[in-house]
Structure 1
Amino acid sequence: MITGKLEVTIKINELPQAITVENGWQQFEIDCDGRIITITVKPKIWKKLTDAAKNYPLWIAAIAGKLGQQTDSGLVLDEPNIQVFERKPKEATATQGAA
């Protein structure tokens, strides 16, 4: 048997409501199919999300991390990392031409 690393990736396209916890860290929750995932990030990582919401009309963020402690309604995501991507809108002309 070999050992592996289990990570979870959550994709979002809206800025979640966050609360400030100690040292400026931001904590927010995401509902993933009825399970509430609690995420706490450094101010630098939170800025990635707020900048995307401010600068891109369409964007998507991939939040990856380790499975953490279970809570009553879900779990905590440990060591979260966020990657943000600008989404390009699908061209309406190409869609209309195919129909």
Structure 2
Amino acid sequence: MIAGKLEITIKINELPQPKDIENGWQHFDLDCDRQIISATAKVKIWKKLTDAASNYSQWVGAIVGKLGQQAEQGFVLEKPNIQVFERKPKAETTSALGATS
């Protein structure tokens, strides 16, 4: 048997409703297929989400963390890190087959 590393990735496209904790840290819950995931983000990490929500009309965030303590309806996401990407609308393409002369 070899050792592995378990990480969980959660994709979001809306800003979660946070609860302000000490020193500007934010705690929020995510509903992932009826599993409630709790996470606490540092100020710098939370700022990535709020900047994306205000700067991009469409965006996607990927929250990555370790599987933490089990909760009543889900679990805690430990040491979350967030990456945010601008989501660009797909360009409409015209098919040569669909064009008529």
Q: TM-score, normalised by structure 2?
A: 0.91
Shift of 1:22: 1.5
- Alignment match, 2:17: 17
The answer to whether residue 52 in structure 2 is matched with residue 52 in structure 1 is yes
Shift of 1:24: 1.2
Residues 62-73 of structure 1 aligned to structure 2 (within 5 Å): 62-73=62-73
Amino acid at match of 1:45: I
The answer to whether residue 38 in structure 2 is matched with residue 35 in structure 1 is no
For 1:87 and 1:53, the matched residues in 2 are separated by: 11
Q: Which runs of 4+ in 1 moved over 4 A?
A: none
For 2:19 and 2:47, the matched residues in 1 are separated by: 14
Amino acid at match of 2:64: A
Q: TM-score, normalised by structure 1?
A: 0.93
- Alignment match, 2:80: 80
- Alignment match, 1:4: 4
Give the share of equivalent positions with the same residue, in percent.
66
Gaps of 5+ in 2: none
| Rg (Cα) greater in structure | 2
Shift of 1:46: 0.3
Shift of 1:32: 0.3
What SS does the aligned partner of 2:44 have? helix
Shift of 1:51: 0.1
For 2:84 and 2:60, the matched residues in 1 are separated by: 6
Amino acid at match of 2:69: Q
Aligned length: 96
